[in-house]
């Protein structure tokens, strides 16, 4: 059994106050919601009951077999959940994209940012985490507190996992963008994406740090993303201007 934690690097665009680390202990309390409320008090957050209902609905349609979680962003370098197996996985029909607009966490209303989500089309490589059966409910509860924070952001789905040879080995919980939820930004020009990632920061750190950590995490697991690599180079350049 493994529990993974990761320290965050504070990007130079972040203000003087040290950001909070998105840790397991933070998810076990109400601290994350408090951070989001401080950044953007107007945001409508899911209640604990709403998240419970959402998770119940997800588990109602659980496929046969083990429960996996698919990580394509910060879960790769900071899963903060207990798991019994980790492996490289690929999904078809979805791609990793900075397509969700945010104004809290790693952004603010005055300097909005972008967060990764799975958008329709293409394919995506990432990390799959297998949960012990006894831990499914408790670990997914923490995951829902992490990902299902604000209305209009993610839609959780069961997606089929395949290995490097294209062989399926299970289904995973994955968080896809809600294209009709008001936070979709998949059609934003590249220069606007770079500007947001280079300037946005909030109570959890900066969007630039999130980008760089994800790039490094993908590299360390042997699944670099050429599009993300190019975007990171552009943001690094913007930070030197």
Collect all residues with Cβ–Cβ distance below 8 Å to 130 and sequence separation of at least 6: 66, 67, 68, 83, 84, 85, 86, 87, 170
Write down the catalytic residue from 8, 147, 229, 236.
Answer: 147
List the structure tokens of 175: 């968080």
- Name the band, by pLDDT with cuts 50, 70 and 90, for residue 17: low
> Under DSSP, is residue 171 helix (H, G, I), strand (E, B) or coil?
strand
Question: How confident is the model over 105-116, as pLDDT tens digits?
Answer: 999 999 999 999
Percent over 70 (pLDDT), the chain: 93
Between CA 94 and CA 118 the distance in angstroms is 6
Collect all residues with Cβ–Cβ distance below 8 Å to 2 and sequence separation of at least 6: 82, 83, 84, 86
Task: Check pLDDT > 90 for residue 10.
Answer: no
Question: How confident is the model over 37-93, as pLDDT tens digits?
Answer: 999 999 999 999 999 999 999 999 999 999 999 999 999 999 999 999 999 999 999
Q: How many residues does the chain have?
A: 241
List the structure tokens of 59: 């588990």
State the Cα angle at 57 between 151 and 39, rounded to 5°.
Answer: 20
For residue 2, indicate whether it is catalytic. no
Question: Hey, what CATH topology would domain 20-240 get?
Answer: Hypothetical upf0131 protein ytfp (3.10.490)
Question: How confident is the model over 161-208, as pLDDT tens digits?
Answer: 999 999 999 999 999 999 999 999 999 999 999 999 999 999 999 999
């Amino acid at each position: 059994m493994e529990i993974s934690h990761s320290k965050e690097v504070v990007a130079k665009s972040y203000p003087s106050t040290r950001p909070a680390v998105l840790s397991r202990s933070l998810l076990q309390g109400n601290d994350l919601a408090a951070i989001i409320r401080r950044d953007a008090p107007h945001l409508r957050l899911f209640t604990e009951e709403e998240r419970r209902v959402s998770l119940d609905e997800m588990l109602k349609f659980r496929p046969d077999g083990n429960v996996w979680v698919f990580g394509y962003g910060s879960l790769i370098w900071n899963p903060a959940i207990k798991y019994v197996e980790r492996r490289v996985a690929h999904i078809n029909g979805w791609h990793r994209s900075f397509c969700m607009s945010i104004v809290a966490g790693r952004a603010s209303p005055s300097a909005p940012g972008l967060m990764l989500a799975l958008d329709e089309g293409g394919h995506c490589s990432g990390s799959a985490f297998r949960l012990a059966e006894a831990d499914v409910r408790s670990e997914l509860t923490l995951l829902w507190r992490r990902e299902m924070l604000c209305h209009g952001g993610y839609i959780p789905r069961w997606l089929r996992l395949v290995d490097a040879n294209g062989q399926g080995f299970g289904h995973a919980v994955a968080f896809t963008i809600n294209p009709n939820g008001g936070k979709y930004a998949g059609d934003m020009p590249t220069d606007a994406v770079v500007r947001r990632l280079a300037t946005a920061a909030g109570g959890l750190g900066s969007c630039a740090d999130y980008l760089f950590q994800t790039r490094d995490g993908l590299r360390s697991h042997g699944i670099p993303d050429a599009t993300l690599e190019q975007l990171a180079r552009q943001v690094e350049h913007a930070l030197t201007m």
